Amino acid sequence: MTETATLNIRHAVAADARALAHHMAEWFLAAYSHASSAGNLASFVTTNFSPQKQAAEISNPQIVTLVAEAGSDMVGYAQLRFATPAPPSITEPGSAEVGRFYLAPTHHGRGTAALLMRAVRAAARERDRRWLWLLVWQQAPQAIRFYEKQGFKKTGDAVFMVGDDRKADWVMHAPAADITDSSQ
């Protein structure tokens, strides 16, 4: 199924902080609550997904938060981070991190993710970044498959902390050029 024409992707604004924090927690738990203890999940959600934290990230000039909306419903979001130190396996200068990339479960498999990644790539190029990198859990086959379809390749390994739970991640990278436009 492909996405309908009503999908809108825009930069988050301060007024989005509360809804964004709510959906961040909701979609993280929908995807990964099976993978860590309740205590570690609660610690991760509290640390990362408060409205205050999202307000700070939205106003941070080194972070771009994009939200995808279907009508008035927020159905996905992504965060690009420009100042995060890249892992050692990322050697291209001026790479930007795709720090978070999540859809509502109702929007999986509908083409929304490709549209959101296209917007992420455009936002990276607007800041003169030529490469993207990200971390993905090794046991997240749906996300890995999506990133591979988007041209991401594994460059190394990393540890991602969920509370005090050490998750074995892959580091992946891809050009920021739009994969549907070979002229870029």
Site residues for ligand COA per CB under 6 A: 31, 101-103, 108-109, 113-114, 136, 140-143, 145-146
Q: Tell me the two tokens of residue 175.
A: 């050009």
Instruction: Kindly tell me which of 82 and 133 has the beta carbon lying closer to ligand COA.
Output: 133
Q: Is 95 in contact with 173 (CB distance < 8 Å)?
A: yes
Query: Nearest approach, Cβ of 127 to ligand COA (angstroms)?
Result: 21
In the chain, where does DSSP find H-type helix? 17-32, 38-48, 51-59, 112-126, 141-149
Amino acid at 135: L
Query: Nearest approach, Cβ of 110 to ligand COA (angstroms)?
Result: 6
Residue 172: exposed, middle, or buried by beta-carbon count in 10 A (0-12, 13-18, 19+)? buried
Instruction: Kindly tell me which of 159 and 183 has the beta carbon lying closer to ligand COA.
Output: 159
Instruction: Kindly tell me which of 59 and 109 has the beta carbon lying closer to ligand COA.
Output: 109
Query: Nearest approach, Cβ of 30 to ligand COA (angstroms)?
Result: 7
Q: Is 159 in contact with 168 (CB distance < 8 Å)?
A: yes
Query: Nearest approach, Cβ of 81 to ligand COA (angstroms)?
Result: 13
Q: How many other C-beta atoms are found inside a 10 Å radius of the C-beta of residue 164?
A: 11
Instruction: Kindly tell me which of 59 and 145 has the beta carbon lying closer to ligand COA.
Output: 145
